């Protein structure tokens, strides 16, 4: 099939165009659309056949559950049979926004969405195009990130086309996404609530609202979030993450860079602004200042993709501080850095 690209200005929504895209969703077809985090690959959440098409297009295994996107808080009560007060507190504070809540599912939610779990992941995206699309389609929309399974998430329509061109009906091009990393996935069916995936809302922000929060790696993740594989977000190049802190970081990066260059590989470095001049002779892409993690999050995936586009075989990434958005960035870099043979 030929993928149609529909350009929409998110500041001045052209409703006629949104209606065209909403028609595709209603017909049971796939539409990729921008959210504030990354581009999503959307289908009608209440149409099982449409949902199944997502797994096929992404080459995603069926044991990886999907997030349902809503535009109206009332939908929570249709999709979940048990909405605890904490859900409303969090929604009030962070929706629309990059927080996904895991709740007990209702009968309305198909098992194909939840990978047979009795819970469902729900979020309200903070993006005018996404919200208008959901409203016009008059149905909740399931949407994983619009990349091939296991690969780097897309932050532009161009990235989506690289992975899914001619495999889906439509891509809405709404420009670059503003957050750049996916939503935080928070399980509130347990107490204390547990972060299953770090993301756009930081653990510090969550703690301010609900007090205690458990963080992913302390849990038996395999059980509660089957989609959390070790290897994910991978560029085609081999990614090496240098976690050394402080002054030794740059010398470690250089040592590895020279090693691979010596073996004939094309080596690129993803560095913080303050270190960029330390790597003479290597292609350096700047993720942002080490203390401006918002900027770093926005640039992360597009830098990894651009190294791939330019034919780099090795990407050496400097580690960042694990506070705020830094936790989400580091979680993604660690997974992207897992060698393929270990996944």
Q: Indicate which of Mg ion, ligand TXA, none lies near residue 120 (CB less than 5 to 8 Å, by partner kind).
A: ligand TXA
Please, is 106 exposed, middle or buried when counting C-beta atoms within 10 Å of its C-beta (0-12, 13-18, 19+)?
A: middle
Mark the segment that binds ligand TXA (CB under 6 A) among 18-26, 96-104, 207-215, 267-275: 96-104
Question: Given the DSSP bridges, would you call strands 80-82 and 99-105 parallel, antiparallel or unpaired?
Answer: antiparallel
- Using the rule CB under 6 A, which residue among 182, 308, 318, 331 binds ligand TXA? 182
Please, is 220 exposed, middle or buried when counting C-beta atoms within 10 Å of its C-beta (0-12, 13-18, 19+)?
A: exposed
Q: Indicate which of Mg ion, ligand TXA, none lies near residue 178 (CB less than 5 to 8 Å, by partner kind).
A: none
Annotated binding-site residue? 233: yes
- Using the rule CB under 6 A, which residue among 143, 164, 170, 270 binds ligand TXA? 143
Minimum separation from the CB atom of position 75 to ligand TXA (A): 15
Residue 174 is a binding residue for ligand TXA (CB under 6 A):
no
C-alpha atoms less than 13 angstroms from C-alpha of 292 in its C-beta half-sphere: 12
Tokens of 136: 């016009």
For 327: left if phi > 0, alpha if psi spans -120 to 50, otherwise beta; the answer is: alpha
Residue 336 is a binding residue for ligand TXA (CB under 6 A):
no
Residue 224 is a binding residue for ligand TXA (CB under 6 A):
yes
Annotated binding-site residue? 298: no
- Using the rule CB under 5 A, which residue among 100, 145, 155, 194 binds Mg ion? 145
Mark residues 188-217: x for contact with ligand TXA by CB under 6 A, - for none: --------xx--------------------
- Using the rule CB under 6 A, which residue among 67, 79, 137, 198 binds ligand TXA? 67
Kindly state the number of chain residues that form the binding site for ligand TXA, as judged by CB under 6 A.
29
Question: Given the DSSP bridges, would you call strands 4-7 and 170-173 parallel, antiparallel or unpaired?
Answer: parallel
Task: Tell me whether residue 318 or residue 331 sits nearer to ligand TXA (CB atom).
Answer: 331
User: CA-CA distance, 275 to 98, in Å (whole number)?
Assistant: 30
**End-to-end Cα spacing for the chain:** 32
Annotated binding-site residue? 184: no
For the chain, give the longest Cα–Cα distance: 60
Residue 37 is a binding residue for Mg ion (CB under 5 A):
no
Tokens of 76: 């929570």
Task: Tell me whether residue 145 or residue 183 sits nearer to Mg ion (CB atom).
Answer: 145
């Amino acid at each position: 099939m030929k993928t149609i690209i529909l350009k929409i200005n998110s500041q001045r929504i052209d409703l006629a165009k949104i209606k065209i895209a909403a028609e595709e969703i209603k017909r049971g077809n796939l539409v990729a659309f921008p959210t504030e985090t990354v581009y999503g690959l959307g289908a009608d959440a209440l149409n099982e056949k449409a949902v199944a098409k997502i797994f096929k297009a992404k080459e995603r295994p069926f044991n990886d559950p999907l997030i349902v996107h809503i535009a109206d808080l009332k939908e929570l009560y249709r999709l979940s049979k048990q909405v605890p007060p904490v859900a409303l507190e969090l929604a009030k504070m962070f929706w629309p926004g990059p927080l996904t809540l895991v709740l007990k599912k209702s009968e309305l939610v198909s098992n194909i969405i939840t990978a047979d779990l009795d819970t469902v992941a729900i979020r309200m995206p903070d993006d005018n195009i996404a919200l208008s699309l959901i409203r016009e389609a008059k149905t909740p929309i399931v949407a994983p990130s619009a990349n091939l399974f296991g690969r780097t998430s897309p932050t532009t329509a161009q990235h989506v086309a690289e992975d899914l061109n001619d495999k889906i009906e439509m891509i809405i091009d709404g420009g670059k996404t503003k957050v750049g990393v996916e939503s935080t996935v928070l399980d509130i069916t347990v107490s204390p609530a547990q972060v299953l995936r770090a993301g756009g809302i930081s653990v510090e922000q969550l703690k301010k609202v609900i007090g205690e929060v458990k963080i992913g790696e302390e849990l038996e993740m395999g059980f509660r979030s089957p989609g959390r594989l070790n290897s994910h977000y991978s560029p085609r190049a081999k990614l090496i993450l240098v976690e050394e802190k402080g002054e030794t970081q740059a010398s470690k990066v250089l040592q590895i860079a020279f090693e691979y260059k010596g073996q004939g590989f094309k080596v690129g470095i993803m560095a913080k602004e303050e270190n960029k001049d330390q790597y003479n002779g290597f292609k350096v892409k700047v993720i942002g200042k080490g203390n401006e993690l918002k900027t770093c999050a926005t640039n992360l995936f597009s830098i990894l993709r651009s190294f791939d586009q330019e034919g780099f075989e090795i990407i050496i990434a400097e580690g960042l501080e694990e506070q705020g958005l830094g936790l989400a960035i580091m979680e993604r870099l660690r997974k992207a850095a897992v060698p393929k043979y270990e996944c």
